[in-house]
Structure 1
Amino acid sequence: MALTLSKNQSISLEKTAGAGLTKISLGLGWDPMKTGLMGKLFGKSGDIDLDASCILFDANLKPVDLVWFRQLKSKDGSIRHSGDNRTGEGDGDDETIFIDLATLPAAVTHLVFTVNSFTGENFERIENAYCRIVDSGKNNELARFNLSEQGAHTGVVMASLTRGASGWDFKAIGKTTRGRTADDLVSLAVEAVRA
């Protein structure tokens, strides 16, 4: 059974998944709040375009690469993005980032996952947002973090993966921001990993 994490809580992926963890994915899901007739009259559509991204850092927290809707694969090919979901409609994960831990370059020690609204919609209009980490080899959800904080922010540093001596640790972060692209969130991602 998957663990539900709170802000700043972390787990060891190897201890949670067992030996042999090589491929994982981070799924992001959300639902647009129902707008009803009044929302439609005042130009509020039901669609919300959130973008999941992964920022790759080295041990000195220098950005190495960025996987997002404008670059769907890392330069080395170890991380892939499922593509841009512009509505949030449907069940399950709306966007997914696939990570091959076995082929990830040794110089990459931190992966930081962010979500932002490129179009500037804020999180007051979003409900049921979450991110979850899945053992892709066994199709088993390891941990989930509910992004329940609503407000005027347009982005969230969701979570991080950090490579240590005993394997990878997953940390729920949940730091809100007004950034609208993954580029806007790089410095906040660094702060979140250092904290």
Structure 2
Amino acid sequence: MAINLQKGQRINLEKSNGSKLQNICVGINWGAIEKKGLFGLSKTKEAVDLDASCALYNEQKQVLEVVYFGNLSSKDNAVKHSGDDLTGDMGGDDGLDNEVITLDLSRLNPATSHVAFVLNSFRGHDFGTIPFASIRIYEGTPSRVNEIFATYDIASGAGFAGHVSMVMGVFYKKNGEWKFNAIGEPTKDKKLQDTVNTVTQHYL
């Protein structure tokens, strides 16, 4: 399997031994913004609230449901959200994902044909100002990374500055096989609902 896809690449979710990849995690890591005080003497931390979300679609490209901080599990329990992180790492990068969405392809309702992952900056913090903000999409569990197949450096990646939302990637079913499209594109949207609409119109 190809490791660390570039934007726009697509892969078949079949491992080198022929078995199908089933357990997928989308992890987001970020830090609070450091603010310098008067004359640069004292420093304070400004909390940053990034929100990872997942939209499930049928073959007609209709939204079946959205898993986000207000709905932590899909009805079929195939998609689960770790919960809302409202601050980011306050004491520097701890190396752990602040929010993780897990996807078990084997448990998905058969009517689901597209699973799209998006990211929104809830309070409108510019992606380019958020310390060490990054995404990794990998096989494994929230505590075990087996194989990373897409990463995005939001904090310093070209194109993310000036934006507060993005489409991370889409898993889609074609001829009964699951594939992954690494998108990694910022959008002009401000809110989650707008970003889901953008996915519906442009990325399925």
Which TM-score band applies after superposition, normalised by the shorter structure? 0.7 to 0.9
Q: Which moved further from structure 2: 13-22 or 62-71?
A: 13-22
| 1:145 alignment partner AA | T
Aligned residue among 119, 122, 134 for 2:138: 134
| Secondary structure of the corresponding residue to residue 19 of structure 2 | coil
Q: Which residue of 2 aligns with 1:48?
A: 48
Aligned residue among 108, 114, 118 for 1:110: 114
2: distance between equivalents of 1:35 and 1:11?
41
Q: Which moved further from structure 2: 27-36 or 67-76?
A: 27-36
- TM-score, scaled to structure 1: 0.85
- Give ranges in structure 1 of 5+ residues lacking alignment: none
1:11 aligns with 2:15: no
Q: Which has the larger radius of gyration?
A: 2
2: distance between equivalents of 1:20 and 1:31?
34
Q: Which residue of 2 aligns with 1:162?
A: 172
1:143 aligns with 2:153: no
- TM-score, scaled to structure 2: 0.81
Q: CA deviation at 1:104?
A: 0.1
1: distance between equivalents of 2:186 and 2:53?
15
Q: Which residue of 2 aligns with 1:76?
A: 76
Is this contact kept in 1: 2:72–2:80, CA < 8 A? yes
Is this contact kept in 1: 2:37–2:44, CA < 8 A? no
Q: Per the alignment, do residues 166 and 39 of structure 1 end up closer, same or farther by CA in structure 2, a change over 3 Å counting?
A: farther
Is this contact kept in 2: 1:24–1:98, CA < 8 A? yes
Q: Which residue of 1 aligns with 2:97?
A: 93
| 1:141 alignment partner AA | E
Q: Which residue of 1 aligns with 2:31?
A: 31
| 1:135 alignment partner AA | E
2: distance between equivalents of 1:34 and 1:2?
36
Once the two structures are superposed, residues 126-178 of structure 1 have per-residue CA deviations (whole angstroms, 9 ceiling, x without a partner) of 24333222222774123122132332211111111111226221222122224
Is this contact kept in 1: 2:134–2:151, CA < 8 A? yes
The number of residue pairs the alignment matches comes to 193
- Give ranges in structure 2 of 5+ residues lacking alignment: none
Q: Which moved further from structure 2: 137-146 or 163-172?
A: 137-146
Q: Which moved further from structure 2: 68-77 or 140-149?
A: 140-149
1: distance between equivalents of 2:111 and 2:200?
16
Is this contact kept in 2: 1:68–1:182, CA < 8 A? no
CA RMSD of aligned residues (A): 2.7
| 1:12 alignment partner AA | N
Once the two structures are superposed, residues 48-78 of structure 1 have per-residue CA deviations (whole angstroms, 9 ceiling, x without a partner) of 1100000001111110010000100112221
2: distance between equivalents of 1:10 and 1:55?
19
Is this contact kept in 2: 1:39–1:45, CA < 8 A? no
Q: Which moved further from structure 2: 12-21 or 50-59?
A: 12-21
Q: Which moved further from structure 2: 103-112 or 90-99?
A: 90-99
